[in-house]
Amino acid sequence: MSDFPEGRRIGTRKQCFAKALLKNSKTIGYLADISESGFKIRIMERLDREASEKETIGIQFDECAIQYFQVKAKLCWRRDEEKSTLLGYRTESFETAEGSTGYESIRKLYGDGAKGDFT
């Protein structure tokens, strides 16, 4: 079951980015990039976070039929931009085996565009 609010979008949209929910602050962002070892999340607001904070993050990608899952991750860096914050996480563990499968499916969908380590 998803923790994301229902009914925030009217109509359909094309496949794009997986949504990410930072559970501690209930902040929603988008998965900007993903690699085997970690991922980047873009939050469309300024968000104070310190490197080495650990967090449970919910990931959802309905448009690609990937079920909601949770990943435990460690924040490695934060970059404040004009109207957003980019967060770089190292993946630590998944709540379920399905979470690991979902993560790998998203990594393949993103085309393995992330060739480096984000941490």
What are the tens digits of pLDDT across the range 41-55?
Answer: 999 988 777 777 899
pLDDT 10s digits, 62-96 = 878 888 999 999 999 999 988 899 999 999 999 89
- Distance, CA of 62 to CA of 52 (rounded, Å): 30
